[in-house]
Each structure stands twice: as C-alpha cells, then as structure tokens.
Amino acid sequence: MLIMGIETSCDETAAGVVREGKEILSNVVASQVSIHKEFWGIVPEIASRKHIEVIIPVIRKALKDAQIKLTDLNGIGATYGPGLLGSLMVGLTVAKGIAYSLGLPFVGINHLKAHLYANFLQYPNLSFPLVGLIISGGHTELVYLSKDTKCKLLGTTRDDAVGEAFDKVARILKLSYPGGPAIEKIAQKGNPQMVDLPHLHFKKENFDFSFSGIKTAILYYVRELQKRKTPIPASDIAASFQLRVAEILSEKLFKAASLKKVKNIAIGGGVASNNFIREFMEKNAPPGIKIFFPSPELCTDNAAMVACLAYFKIKKGKTSPLSLEAQPGLSFPTSSSTTHSS
Ligand code: KG4
Ligand code: ZN
C-alpha cells in the first residue's frame, strides 16, 4: 500500500510517500524558518501564504523522489489539527482534492499523534500499550496509547510548551531562532550545575508540566547580571536550563510509565532531537523500560509520519469524510472524557 502524507500545520510544507506504513520512499520538507526568523516566531498569515505557493511543487517532488505517479497511490492522509487554521487548510484542501479526483481513501490526521508514529517508521516492532511524550514548539503532551491504539491525554503544559521555552530562553541569551538547536550547541560547553532553576512540583498524581517559571528565573538572572555589568555565562545558563527540562520531563514520563505499567515509551516532536535530553532519559530510565526516539529529521515536522499514521488508519478502514474541517485546537481526550479525537 502506497500512502501519501501531507503536512502544513505550522511552518513546514511537507509531503511524503510511505510503503506499507514503514518504508519511506520520499519525505520532502520545505521549511519557512528563514522567513519567520526575524519575528522570533511564526507569523500565521505569512505561513499560510507560503504554504499555498509551495504545496504543489513539494507534492510533485515527493512523487518524483518516490519514483511513482499520483495514480499509483492507494490513499492519502493530511494533518487536520492541531495547528494554524490558515496553514492547516492548505494541506487539507489539497489532499481532499487529490482524494476526490482520484477516488482515493482519505484520512485526517492528528499532528501530535503522527509525531509519535514517526517511531513506527524506524522501529516497526514497537508495540502497544505505550506511554508517549510529544515535545514540540507548540505542545507538551503526555499520553497513553492502549492496545487498541486509542490515545488518552495524561498531562499537558499549563503555560509554555517545552520547545517554546527553548525558543524564549534562546532569545534572552541572544542566540538564534529556533532556539532548541542553538541552546543544545552552546550547552555542550556549559556547567549544568551552575544556575539553580525552579522545579515546580504538582500533586503526586498530576502529570501536567510548567516551564514559564524557569524561563522567568533565567530572565531575572540575566537582568541582574546585566545591571551589575557582569558577563552573561550563556553556556552555563543553557546547560542548566537543558538539565532542568530533562529532569522535569523524565520525572513525569517515568511516573506515567509506572502508573500505566508499560514497558515502551515513544517520544516525538522537535525537542526530541535534543541529544542531551535523549541521553538523560535513556540513562535514567527505570529497568525494563525501553525508550524510542525517531531520528532527528523525523522528530521535527515532516510528512512521512503523517503517511505512517494514515496507513494504519486506512488499513483499518478508518477514513474521513471529505467534509472534514481543519481543527486548530484538536487535542486528545482525557482519561475521564469521551470526546472523539484521532
Ligand atoms: O515539532 P516541531 O518541528 O514543530 C512543532 O510542531 O512545533 O518543533 C519545533 C520546536 C522548536 O521550538 C525548536 O526550538 C525545538 O522544536 N527544537 C529543539 C531542538 N531542535 C528543535 N529543542 C531542543 N533541542 C533541539 N535540538
Ligand atoms: Zn510538530
């Protein structure tokens, strides 16, 4: 089965073709990072206009790289949420158009769940049940995927997403955008014990996260040094920040794995490409727990992960109507709710 995935939820226009849910034939990503850089964040209107410009060439390239024709496809999946409304509409509308014109099965894909499914592209034997953690620029979601692959939300951030915190701290330290890779780079030379940053503890059974307190502590620390005309130890601050983030994420993650009695943990999203966090989690994982990370290019937004999840859905006959609309606020049902989500 050849499935095309289309992804335009944020600032990457992506299309890819995956065979049998695991073999990536093409994975084309046109990033807008250089355009949004000067604004230190994504400008929604610019993002959607750029998607319109490049979506067709990106799809053409995905077909060319995969050495197939549009008519060779057996199905198509596109991200329908969460994300920026104007951006989501571009990929979703094009995917529906292709599906309609060729009579192909179409399925709307939850971007966050797709981030976790990136792991199945590399580890086809990864099995359910599992605990998943999506750590990206807009999201920090701790989820439980039961044997039937239904996804339940265990915890989320109460303020900044973890990638957003990386971006904001990078800005305070006058590094580049996006902040994650810049922080990871300078942190290598820093002392992670140098700055004592807050570690907010919620109630024992709570799986929510908070990162804005750490960011604010760094902002005040830097301001104080500036007032005293003392040089800013950017590497030490970056290393201390990264360590605190790794500790906070790991604590909740391992607690959730123990509560749900799972052996497998799958991580996804741009922040999952951070080597320090990967190594910290692997080193501190309780015995018997295996942690899966996608390779760095499959951690950040891409369409192969969308095609992978679309394959699993289409194979089970779980397609979407062509009337499906973009859902910018799409999330996962919580353990106690019955709301539907993909
Ligand atoms: O998943 P993604 O590509 O897009 C969203 O869906 O948000 O994630 C982008 C986020 C940005 O905030 C970026 O700073 C962060 O992922 N990021 C990293 C690293 N690479 C990207 N954060 C920490 N370390 C990295 N190496
Ligand atoms: Zn993403």
Q: How far is the CA of 89 from the centre of ligand 1 (A)?
A: 22
Residues 280 and 137 in one domain: yes
Q: Can you read off the two tokens belonging to residue 57? A: 């060439």
Residues 134 and 177 in one domain: yes
Which residue's alpha carbon is at the smallest distance from atom 3 of ligand 1?
300
Using a 6 Å cutoff on CB, does residue 274 contact ligand 1? yes
Which of 14, 4, 3 minimizes the C-alpha distance to 54? 14
Q: Answer yes or no: are the C-beta atoms of 167 and 180 closer than 8 Å.
A: yes
Q: Measured between alpha carbons, how far is 214 from 200 in angstroms, rounded to an integer?
A: 9
Using a 6 Å cutoff on CB, does residue 79 contact ligand 1? no
| Model pLDDT, residue 163 | 96
Using a 6 Å cutoff on CB, does residue 270 contact ligand 1? yes
Q: How far is the CA of 228 from the centre of ligand 1 (A)?
A: 33
Q: How many CB atoms lie within 10 A of CB 7?
A: 31
Domain that holds residue 85: 2-117+298-315
Q: Strand, helix or coil at 228?
A: coil
Residues 135 and 266 in one domain: yes
Residues 52 and 189 in one domain: no
Using a 6 Å cutoff on CB, does residue 163 contact ligand 1? yes
Mutate to test the pocket of ligand 1, among 40, 115, 166 (most ligand atoms within 8 A of CB): 166
Which of 243, 246, 291 minimizes the C-alpha distance to 267? 291
Q: Answer yes or no: are the C-beta atoms of 335 and 113 closer than 8 Å.
A: no
Work out which ligand 1 atom sits closest to the CA atom of 162. Answer: 12
Q: Measured between alpha carbons, how far is 194 from 3 in angstroms, rounded to an integer?
A: 49
Q: How far is the CA of 31 from the centre of ligand 2 (A)?
A: 12
User: Vertex 219, ends 215 and 224: CA angle to 5°?
Assistant: 150
Question: Counting beta carbons within 10 angstroms of the beta carbon of residue 160, is it exposed (0 to 12), middle (13 to 18) or buried (19 or more)?
Answer: buried
For residue range 189-226, list pLDDT tens digits in order: 999 999 989 887 776 678 999 999 999 999 999 999 99
Mean pLDDT value across residues 41-64 = 95
Q: How far is the CA of 11 from the centre of ligand 2 (A)?
A: 9
Q: Backbone phi, then psi, for 19, in 5-degree steps?
A: -100, 130
Percent of the chain with pLDDT over 70: 97
Supply the mean pLDDT for the chain.
94
For residue range 225-260, list pLDDT tens digits in order: 999 999 999 999 999 999 999 999 999 999 999 999
| Model pLDDT, residue 39 | 87
66-101 burial, b at 16+ Cβ within 10 Å, e below that, comes to bebeeeebebbbbbbbbbbebbbbbbbbbbbebbee
Q: Which residues contact 178 (CB under 8 A, 6 or more apart)?
A: 33, 137, 163, 166, 167, 170, 270
Percent of the chain with pLDDT over 90: 87
Work out which ligand 1 atom sits closest to the CA atom of 139. Answer: 7
Residues 141 and 241 in one domain: yes
Determine, yes or no, domain membership for 93: yes
Using a 6 Å cutoff on CB, does residue 236 contact ligand 1? no
- Residue 336: pLDDT over 70: no
Q: Can you read off the two tokens belonging to residue 324? A: 């499906």
Q: What's the pLDDT band for 320 if we cut at 50, 70, 90?
A: very high
Q: How far is the CA of 70 from the centre of ligand 1 (A)?
A: 31
Residues 49 and 161 in one domain: no
Determine, yes or no, domain membership for 254: yes
Q: Can you read off the two tokens belonging to residue 100? A: 């309609």
Residues 113 and 143 in one domain: no
Which ligand has the minimum distance to the alpha carbon of residue 110? Answer: 2
- Residue 339: pLDDT over 50: no
| Model pLDDT, residue 36 | 86
Q: Measured between alpha carbons, how far is 89 from 324 in angstroms, rounded to an integer?
A: 10
Determine, yes or no, domain membership for 69: yes
Determine, yes or no, domain membership for 326: no
Using a 6 Å cutoff on CB, does residue 41 contact ligand 1? no
Residues 230 and 132 in one domain: yes
- Residue 262: pLDDT over 80: yes
- Residue 127: pLDDT over 80: yes
Q: What's the pLDDT band for 316 if we cut at 50, 70, 90?
A: very high
Determine, yes or no, domain membership for 181: yes
Q: How far is the CA of 333 from the centre of ligand 1 (A)?
A: 24
Sheet containing 264-268, strands listed edge to edge, beginning at the edge strand earlier in sequence: 151-156, 140-145, 130-135, 264-268, 290-292
**Residue 148's CATH number:** 3.30.420.40
Q: Which residues contact 318 (CB under 8 A, 6 or more apart)?
A: 107
Determine, yes or no, domain membership for 335: no
Determine, yes or no, domain membership for 11: yes
| Model pLDDT, residue 335 | 67
Using a 6 Å cutoff on CB, does residue 136 contact ligand 1? yes
Q: Measured between alpha carbons, how far is 170 from 190 in angstroms, rounded to an integer?
A: 14
Q: How far is the CA of 98 from the centre of ligand 2 (A)?
A: 24
Tally the domains of the chain. 2
Residues 198 and 267 in one domain: yes
Which of 225, 221, 224, 226 minimizes the C-alpha distance to 195? 221
Mutate to test the pocket of ligand 1, among 136, 277, 330 (most ligand atoms within 8 A of CB): 136
For residue range 82-109, list pLDDT tens digits in order: 999 999 999 999 999 999 999 999 999 9
Q: How many CB atoms lie within 10 A of CB 37?
A: 12
- Residue 149: pLDDT over 80: no
| Model pLDDT, residue 147 | 80
| Model pLDDT, residue 200 | 74
Work out which ligand 1 atom sits closest to the CA atom of 301. Answer: 3
Residues 288 and 271 in one domain: yes
Residues 144 and 248 in one domain: yes
Determine, yes or no, domain membership for 320: no
pTM for this structure? Answer: 0.93
9-13, 97-101, 233-237, 333-337: least confident range: 333-337
Query: What separation in angstroms does the CA of 147 have from each of 155, 267, 285?
Result: 19, 17, 22
For residue range 263-292, list pLDDT tens digits in order: 999 999 999 999 999 999 999 999 999 999
Residues 143 and 65 in one domain: no
Using a 6 Å cutoff on CB, does residue 300 contact ligand 1? yes
Q: How far is the CA of 17 from the centre of ligand 1 (A)?
A: 23
Q: Answer yes or no: are the C-beta atoms of 160 and 200 closer than 8 Å.
A: no
Which residue's alpha carbon is at the smallest distance from atom 11 of ligand 1?
137
